[in-house]
Structure 1
Amino acid sequence: MFPNINCKRLLKEDIEIPCKELALYLLGKILVRKLGDGSILKGIIVETECYLGGEDKASHSFNGRRTSANEPMYMPAGTTYVYMTYGMYYCLNISSKEPGAAVLLRAIEPLCGIDIMKSSRAQKNKRGKQIETISKLCDGPSKLCIAMNITKENCNKIDLTDLKNEDIWLEEHPEIVEDFTVVHTSRIGINNAGEWTTRPLRFYILGNKCVSKRDKLAEKELLANCDNKDYK
């Protein structure tokens, strides 16, 4: 699974783009995490959600809200924004070009360091049971963070494009050339956000088994209109 191949790191010019564009662009790219002992973990990004700020009622920066917690959303494109949900789980976001906008990484397909990911997930499991199915290791934003040891303490406010940063970064996939189809659907867990509740701002690679939740209706409509270039 090419753990030793020197893949091209994504730079500022690659990801300094509007939020929705970034959410789509990141699909098929590789998230890399280097642990303190030098271990390398890698996974293909297969599902994203975008949070646009401004009028987006589901965004932490809705209506220009700005706090010490969501400050990374206003930092330069490519900055990590790690927040805690339900008082116990972390989620990883990446800021985009617009102030207050960011992309949530919802799921990755594990590539490298899988045994470490399994061990990390098992430690968080109440029964200490190890997850053997690779597709279930990182099929959700919090699972992803647990598997890759991503917390607010160790991965927040990091510039992913800074070549001096050796903790977490993004890479091009050496084989994928965006020859996949993308499903556009509504975000997960968004309630009481008016029209923003159902806006198609979640994106995932069609047919990938590591996606957190499939939208079978959207997939059916997509396949029925497979010539629609908006989904390519």
Structure 2
Amino acid sequence: MKLTKSNFNLSCIDMANFLLGKILVRKFENNTISKGRIVETECYLGGIDKASHSYGGRVTPRNQAMFMPEGTSYVYMTYGMYYCLNISSKEPGAAVLIRALEPIEGLEQMENNRLKKMKNKNSSKKFKNIELCNGPSKLCISMDIRKENCNKIDLCQNDYLWIEEPGEKENFVVVTSTRIGVASAGEEWANKPLRFYIYQNPHVSKRDRKAEKNVEFPT
């Protein structure tokens, strides 16, 4: 079942945890569908967050989606060549970065998309399943998520990119860790526990073994 607008009416931190285990679905122009289970997320808290594109409450052409209604996609380019997918939460300027997926359907299409992106078009490389979406830019390539085709869209009101409940709910343990690649925001914000991932899932982009020692297991 596709998530509705009310499902996204959450704070950034709550949404980051809520999205774990949910299914990101991409329908391509050739009508094939790829799906991936969300296994890692990261929070950007808006105006107060020195690592956020919307720090200080600034609105720019680039980050407008962060101020749009909850459940809006925010796709931006990093390093001048890779895209990242975020979803706006209910706080203005706050969004959740989707960091990693566990591919579950349409893996051939994902691999084809990854191969197309490679500089050597004649490469015979074969991607392992765990290599397809174990990072924010990798999943965008695999799902063909770009600023031109997937930015500023309502994830509840379109037929080519959405999030849905898994067929069977699975119990899992969540690891709370620090974000990746935000050292320039300063020590305080670089060390905020704003990254969340499913414990022992091999598709996570980067494990934090120190944080994993503090995981609380259900009794």
- Same fold by TM (over 0.5)? yes
1:167-182 alignment runs, 5 A limit:
167-177=160-170, 179-182=171-174
Report what 1:201 is aligned to.
194
Match of 2:147 among 143, 152, 156: 152
1:133 pairs with 2:138 = no
Is the 1:119–1:130 Cα contact (8 Å) retained in structure 2? no
Q: Distance in 2 between matches of 1:207 and 1:154?
A: 33
Secondary structure of residue in 1 paired with 2:24: strand
Percentage of identical aligned residues: 57
1:89 pairs with 2:76 = no
Report what 1:216 is aligned to.
209
Read off the aligned partner of 1:153 and give its amino acid letter: E
1:1-232 alignment runs, 5 A limit:
8-127=1-120, 128-162=123-157, 165-177=158-170, 179-194=171-186, 195-222=188-215, 225-226=216-217
Q: CA deviation at 1:191?
A: 1.3
Q: Distance in 2 between matches of 1:107 and 1:209?
A: 10
Report what 1:5 is aligned to.
none
Q: CA deviation at 1:192?
A: 2.5
TM-score normalised per structure 2: 0.95
Show structure 1 runs of 5+ residues with no match.
1-7
Show structure 2 runs of 5+ residues with no match.
none
Q: Distance in 2 between matches of 1:200 and 1:175?
A: 29
Equivalent residue pairs, number: 216
Is the 1:81–1:94 Cα contact (8 Å) retained in structure 2? yes
Is the 1:131–1:137 Cα contact (8 Å) retained in structure 2? no
Deviations 1:58-100 (A, max 9, x none): 0000010111110000000000000000000000000000010
CA shift in 2, pair 1:57/1:218, >3 Å? same
Q: Distance in 2 between matches of 1:181 and 1:124?
A: 34
Secondary structure of residue in 2 paired with 1:116: helix
Q: After TM superposition, which residue ranges in structure 1, 4 or more long, deviate above 2 angstroms? A: 125-132, 225-228
Read off the aligned partner of 2:51 and give its amino acid letter: A
TM-score normalised per structure 1: 0.90
Q: Distance in 2 between matches of 1:187 and 1:196?
A: 9
Q: CA deviation at 1:187?
A: 0.4
Q: Distance in 1 between matches of 2:173 and 2:95?
A: 22
Deviations 1:115-156 (A, max 9, x none): 011111112223434333101100000000000000000000
